[in-house]
Structure 1
Amino acid sequence: MSLAYDDEQRLLADTARDFLAERSPVVAQRALRDRRDPLGFEPALWQEMVELGWSAVPFGEVHGGLDFGYQGLGVICEAMGRQLSPAPLLSSVVLCGSLLEGLDDPARAADLLPPLIAGEWRPALALEEGRHHQVLPRTCRARGTPEGFRLDGEKSWVVDGMGADAYLVTALMEEGDPALFLVPAESAGLSVEGLTLVDSRNGARLRLEQVLLGREQLLARGERCGALLETALDRARACLAAELLGASEALFEMTLEYLKTRRQFDVPIGSFQALQHRCAWLHVELALARSTVMAALEAVDQESAERARLVSLAKWKMGAVAERVSREAVQLHGGIGVTDELDVGLYLKRIRVAQACLGDGDYHLDRYASTVAAEV
């Protein structure tokens, strides 16, 4: 496993960092929050990202992608985390793109992926049904009809669900098999309600009441559906860990700069040994967390047998370190650390949401333990 970017990844990282610092700085996220933007991102800026090729990075050339893998996409997610840049990259490209790319019907994938990569069509994955992360559906049901299927149920937290053109919805078939359906946003019986998240990002709740679909809207079912979901979710979890890494490192650097400039007793408070020890601990933990993130992204690209274990390790470790960095940042900034005028609070809120998304620390500790036990 490499612990450093190669030349191409470094070039991509530098390009992403410069672009986002200029076009999507933290102040832009603050502006979106203050005007209560229902989308939570700027569509024009998202199109600029698409034009840079970011939406094509993980896909093969057969679908019009750049075949740069999730290690390439990870450096972009890290740069987005540093600037708190909102965009439907995770929801549309990683989650939905992975599911569509893996379909058993190549013609169907060839039909749906190009408009997604071009930014002309934005789907969102409707997966969660309760307060805790579950991969497979439990309450959303799909029943057969003469023409196809009828869906009934609710989805509780759809990332970037507001304004989506379509939804990939998981549901249980009458036989008990999980299934994945493509549900157009304009479907009769489908209602979408915006959620208020602490990080001001785009979230939605879906209600499906007798939503009628044709047979062609069934994308996958049974074990194949479960396998597709696990692959897509692991890719997204690794990218989320990379975003958390970027946000944590930016917050740590912000805190170090404050310790160098804030003075008490005529000296910088960063000269106090007790504070130096706390920062040294954070520096070491961030380095360790980076190694887990890079290992997870590599395992995803190589389709390693250790993918599940390494991804859960990265999501848990990065979440734990991000929580510690954000708490220390608030404490080391003192009273100003809890004011809205400082960006520390924006980072803390995004970190908390990203920690919970696609499985919190407890979920991934349990999953990691299960994978290790299975190997013994």
Structure 2
Amino acid sequence: MPLYLTDDQVMLRDSAREFMAAEGSIAKQYRKYRDMNCKDGFGHGLWKQFAEIGFTGILVDEADGGVGLGHVEAGIVLEEVGRNLTPSPFLITAVAVVEALRDTRHRERWYPGILAGDTVAALAIDEGSKHRPESIAMIAERSGNGFRLSGRKQFVVQGASADFFVVAAATPDGLTLFAVEKGVKGLEVEGVRLADASIGARLEFDRVELDADAVIGEVGQGGPLLHRVLNAGRVGAASELVGVGSAATGMTVDYLKQRKQFGRLIGEFQVLQHRAAHLYSELEIARAATLKAQQLLDEDADEADMMVSVAKAKAGSASALAVREGVQMHGGIGMTDEYDIGLYMKRDRVLSELFGDAAYHADRVARLNDY
């Protein structure tokens, strides 16, 4: 499949770009909710607007009331989210969690609220300082007709605002995913402000009792389902990283055209021109890799798994380069809160760790190729 957008996808991109620039801008959303020390870190009003436009239903089948599009279209929206640093539950709720509930009875319970912009969900997967889904230690023991969950989760994005959690735990039969509603007895949620001012959470499960209906999919068969969910989240995060890097690069190039030193625009210095050209090429490679991964996921192709990790690794490294170069070429003011470029660096750090950093995915690509 060609690595460019169709006419319909270009229309979606233009619509998303216009909407994010107007309603999801840094001044109107990011700075506003950061400066007011909002407990959620995002505006529920904007989340409702996402729903009204149809963004929350991009990955929901038409039969379930959604738009019935794919990961390419979700990525188009996410790139614009990254470009504007728009604080939103879109990546976790409308992409990763929607994927988790697909083809299960839980979609009847939760999809309507997500489609209406009334429901926020969270993924409770990670337990340590790094993303290691292959080493989940949280235990779900059999208890009557259900299960008893004990353990801890952290780096749960939007966990403090979530109406329910998709939780991965080890059962005697293998890995199992559970839908756990907020407020259940024995669950403690501690909100934590992350580097980019978004809110994550640490979860403590103290013998949390769940009935059998809480199981997502089949008991002991959560491995393939979690894998599908993580791939959706990873390629979505890659798109957002491309947006972060692209906006940071555009902001830096604009600054090179305005700032003067020694009586000349600094953009006239060849060494800075070379660095800007390098940034552009790295981001275009990352964008192409991400689009290819999304296309393969939508086709359910065998190569999708490896390409998702290629995209996450490349987008992570390209975005990290863009924000570092951006801050450096801005000089000392790049580290001040007055200029937005530093905010992109903070968002890059959180997104890079989410669903595995570049090193994790580079290693995963090597292992998938038997190195």
Q: Tell me the TM-score normalized by structure 1.
A: 0.95
Write out aligned runs for 1:1-376 (5 A): 1-27=1-27, 28-103=29-104, 107-136=105-134, 138-173=136-171, 175=172, 177-221=174-218, 224-373=221-370
**CA distance in 2: counterparts of 1:332 and 1:41, whole angstroms:** 30
Provide the C-alpha distance between the structure 1 equivalents of 2:277 and 2:124, rounded to a whole number of angstroms: 41
117-126 or 20-29, which deviates more: 117-126
2:174 and 2:221 in contact (8 A); partners too? no
The aligned amino acid for 1:99 is: A
How far residue 367 of structure 1 moved from its aligned partner, in angstroms, is 0.9
Q: Is the 8 A contact 1:178 1:221 kept in 2?
A: no
SS at match of 1:159: coil
Deviation at 1:30, TM superposition (A): 1.5
Aligned residue pairs, count: 370
Q: Could you report, residue by residue, the CA deviation over 1:75-119 in whole angstroms, capped at 9, with x for unpaired residues?
A: 10001111000111111111111010043xxx4433432332222
SS at match of 2:161: coil
Q: CA deviation at 1:136?
A: 4.3
How far has the Cα of 1:223 moved from its partner? 5.8
Q: Distance in 2 between matches of 1:223 and 1:244?
A: 33
The one-letter amino acid of 1:192's match is V
TM-score, normalized by length of structure 2? 0.96
For the residue of structure 1 that corresponds to 2:133, the secondary structure is: coil
Counterpart of 2:130 in structure 1: which amino acid? H
Q: CA deviation at 1:203?
A: 0.4
Task: Give the gaps of 5 or more residues in structure 2.
Answer: none
The one-character-per-residue Cα deviations of 1:219-262 (angstroms, maximum 9, x if unpaired) are 23466311111111111111111111111111111111111111
Cα distance in 1, alignment partners of residues 220 and 278 from structure 2? 44
Q: Structure 1: how far apart are the matches of 2:213 and 2:43?
A: 33
CA–CA distance in structure 1, aligned partners of residues 120 and 278 of structure 2: 41
Q: Give the Å deviation of 1:302.
A: 0.8
Query: Cα RMSD (Å) of the superposition?
Result: 1.4
In terms of mean alpha carbon deviation, does 117-126 or 35-44 score higher?
117-126
Letter in 1 for 2:369: V
Q: State percent identity of aligned pairs.
A: 38
Instruction: Provide Cα deviations, 1:325-344, integer angstroms capped at 9, x if missing partner.
Output: 11111111111111111101
CA distance in 2, matches of 1:137, 1:209: 20
Q: Give distance in 2, aligned partners of 1:219 and 1:325.
A: 39
Other structure's SS at 1:125 match: strand
